């Protein structure tokens, strides 16, 4: 996994090359809404894009992580099917529902049944390299979904320029990124991480949580500010130094949200001595997002090493899929 994490900047470069070389079959057209369906490492890219387009997209965009699609999906919907393996059962069921609804379907996958169905139906299907854990291929799936948005004229920003800037930032700061990651991993040994971020970075926080779960083999939870100020904050009542709070922060976060985070720190430090702030770097959304994603990916593999667990192993997920196949 360390090698896969280290390869992230090159993966982003390759993802840009794949997207730029792909020729779409489907003509440009307008839509009433967009939906991306995908789970786990295949779906998290959609969550991050959802944050990115929040103040840029003029039509609704939903990320679906279930077997079923919402009732609004129809002939005026663009459905992006994201399944790295191409065999995710929930995504395949959702894809078939999208086909029945008459939606425009575009696929991002490394192969499997998704690619086979796309070929049979004549759908656009952007193929990415296979054979890796889906969680290590965020760059591939996320970037290709952005190219789908771009093809249909849904984005007015130069995301390619932003991603190239993010690659440069990561490579320039890699020693400091790894230094921060090692220090944070050390603080998290024997603790339960609790992640807090502004709404614009919820996808980034979820990504960190998922990497802690799968790579480090630990439980973890996340919440966003200000929403957690209306519920979870009340739950901080007992001293518990096994809880390790991490605030994921951006200088660009809304000033009232920044003020809330400062107050949250004051309240929470009464109950745990482990509070860390991770500050992003960069001028654009994807610079800041990929900086934190790369840093926290390193945290997850350093933490796995410290805990002496296999960061590649996901036997319980394999067991679950095998058991479901018999149902």
Catalytic residues: 214, 230, 321
CB 91 within 8 A of CB 42: yes
Say how many C-beta atoms besides its own lie within 10 A of residue 110's C-beta: 22
Tokens 């890219």: give the residue: 45
Q: In sequence order, what are the beta bridge partners of 172?
A: none
Q: Which two tokens stand for residue 217?
A: 């083999």
DSSP structure class, residue 19: H
User: Which residue matches tokens 């979820």?
Assistant: 206
Backbone CA torsion sign across 288, 291, 293, 299: negative
Checking 95-99 for CB contacts under 8 A at 24+ apart, the result is: 95/37, 97/68, 97/69, 97/73, 98/35, 98/37, 98/69, 98/73
């Amino acid at each position: 996994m360390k090698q896969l994490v280290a390869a992230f900047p090159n993966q982003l470069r390759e993802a840009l090359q794949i997207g730029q070389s792909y020729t779409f079959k489907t003509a440009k057209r307008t839509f009433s809404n967009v939906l991306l369906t995908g789970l786990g490492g295949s779906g998290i890219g959609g969550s991050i894009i959802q944050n990115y387009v929040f103040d840029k997209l003029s039509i609704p965009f939903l990320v679906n992580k279930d077997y079923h699609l919402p009732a609004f999906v129809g002939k005026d919907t663009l459905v992006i099917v994201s399944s790295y393996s191409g065999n995710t059962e929930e995504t395949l069921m959702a894809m078939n529902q999208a086909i029945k609804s008459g939606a425009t379907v575009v696929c991002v996958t490394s192969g499997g049944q998704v690619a086979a169905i796309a070929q049979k139906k004549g759908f656009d299907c952007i193929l990415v390299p296979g054979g890796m854990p889906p969680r290590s291929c965020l760059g591939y799936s996320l970037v290709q979904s952005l190219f789908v948005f771009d093809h249909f004229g849904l984005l007015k920003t130069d995301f390619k320029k932003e991603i190239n800037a993010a690659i440069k930032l990561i490579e320039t700061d890699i020693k400091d990124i790894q230094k921060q990651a090692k220090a944070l991993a050390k603080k998290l040994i024997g603790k339960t991480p609790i992640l807090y971020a502004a709404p614009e970075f919820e996808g980034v926080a979820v990504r960190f949580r998922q990497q802690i779960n799968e790579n480090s083999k630990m439980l973890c939870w996340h919440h966003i500010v200000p929403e957690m100020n209306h519920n979870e904050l009340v739950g901080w009542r007992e001293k518990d130094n096994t809880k390790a709070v991490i605030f994921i922060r951006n200088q660009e976060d809304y000033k009232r949200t920044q003020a809330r985070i400062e107050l949250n720190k004051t309240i929470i430090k009464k109950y745990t001595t482990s509070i860390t702030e991770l500050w992003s770097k960069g001028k654009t959304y994807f610079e800041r997002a990929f900086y934190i994603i790369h840093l926290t990916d390193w945290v997850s593999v350093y933490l796995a090493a410290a805990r002496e667990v296999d960061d590649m192993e996901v036997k319980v997920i394999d067991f679950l899929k095998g058991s479901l196949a018999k149902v």
